[in-house]
Amino acid sequence: MTLINQKMIRAFIEGRYWRHPVRALRIFAAETARKNRGYKRAWEAVGKDAGWTYTMMNGSPDEATLQRTGREMAARLVDALALQSSHRVLELGCGVARIGRELAPQVGEWYGADISSSILKIAQRRTAHLRNVHFRELKRADLPFEDNSFDRVYSHLVLFHMDKEDLYLYLKEFARVLKPGGLLYFDTWNLLHPEGWERFIWELEHHRHKQVKPAHRNQFCTPDEVRLYVEKAGVTPLHVLDPSFWVQTIAGKPAAGVSLDELQALPRNLDSLIPHGRWYY
């Protein structure tokens, strides 16, 4: 028996994938392919299975959990980004609109952008009752929106799936589409935190023998690295929160007549944004 078949059988049994054989084959294909076909191919595969998609969003096993965790994170973002009912808001990597479904009723217009058409179909079904929700499918690290078109931009549990070059390119796009005086939020794994380092080692061991690393694997940053990317992208880091396994960043786009102190004072209740006890949120 070949080594690849041994690994497949062991993963099938130990991971209890025998309960979901089609999902097992999709996961195996996504993680052992000889060619890394990019983010789009990886996430299109995820989106073909709603159960797997929910799990990949934030570990939610079902719709009820998805809605509960979505409401909780939406409430944190309302405070962290000082969201108002008139705001035009963009989420990068919206997935099945776990957060967007709960956040959209609290803002003027909500836009969700994602690289996977299959996942966006699930998101559209989940938000069909909302009139101010819009979706855009991404082809590359260019956002299909005009300059200075959003009051707020956020991306949660997304950018740590990307190579550093692509993370930086998206930050530049955030800066471009954000209105002067606007705010953005994103998070990444914190390499300097013990749990972040533990996850780094897990990823290393999990993928070390693969000829090509999967496009959707987790990657890691330090707070100083994040701050550098943000500044070079053209926005100002206002709060870089790093006491947890995440580096959570709130940045602002400079505007005439708006001081740095005024931008820094906009976010509220930041302690609630920091995860405690679990990394999926």
* Tens of pLDDT, residues 81-125: 999 999 999 999 999 999 999 999 999 999 999 998 989 999 999
**Residues 217 and 204 sit within 8 Å (Cβ to Cβ):** no
Q: How many residues does the chain have?
A: 281
Residue 281 lies in a domain: no
pLDDT of residue 60: 73
Same-domain status, 36 and 102: no
Same-domain status, 152 and 47: no
Return the higher-pLDDT residue of 180 and 45. Answer: 180
pLDDT of residue 210: 80
Same-domain status, 173 and 50: no
Same-domain status, 44 and 77: no
Average pLDDT over residues 18-37: 52
Instruction: Work out the end-to-end distance of the chain between its first and last CA atoms, rounded to an integer number of angstroms.
Output: 41
Same-domain status, 125 and 182: yes
> What is the model's pTM?
0.83
pLDDT surpasses 70 at 240: yes
What is the rounded distance in angstroms from the CA atom of residue 78 to the CA atom of residue 107?
9
* 111: β partners: 90, 134
Q: Tens digit of pLDDT for each residue in 135-191?
A: 999 987 789 999 999 999 999 999 998 999 999 999 999 999 999 999 999 999 999
Same-domain status, 245 and 225: yes
Percentage of the chain modeled with pLDDT above 90? 67
196-204 long-range contacts (CB < 8 A, ≥24 apart) are 196/220, 196/245, 196/246, 199/245, 199/279
Query: Residue 43: which domain range?
Result: 3-58
Residue 31 lies in a domain: yes
Domain count, the chain: 2
- The lowest-confidence range among 26-30, 132-136, 235-239 is 26-30
pLDDT of residue 29: 56
Q: Is 217 exposed, middle or buried (0-12, 13-18, 19+ CB in 10 A)?
A: middle
What is the rounded distance in angstroms from the CA atom of residue 222 to the CA atom of residue 205?
20
**Residues 100 and 126 sit within 8 Å (Cβ to Cβ):** no
**Residues 216 and 161 sit within 8 Å (Cβ to Cβ):** yes
Same-domain status, 71 and 34: no
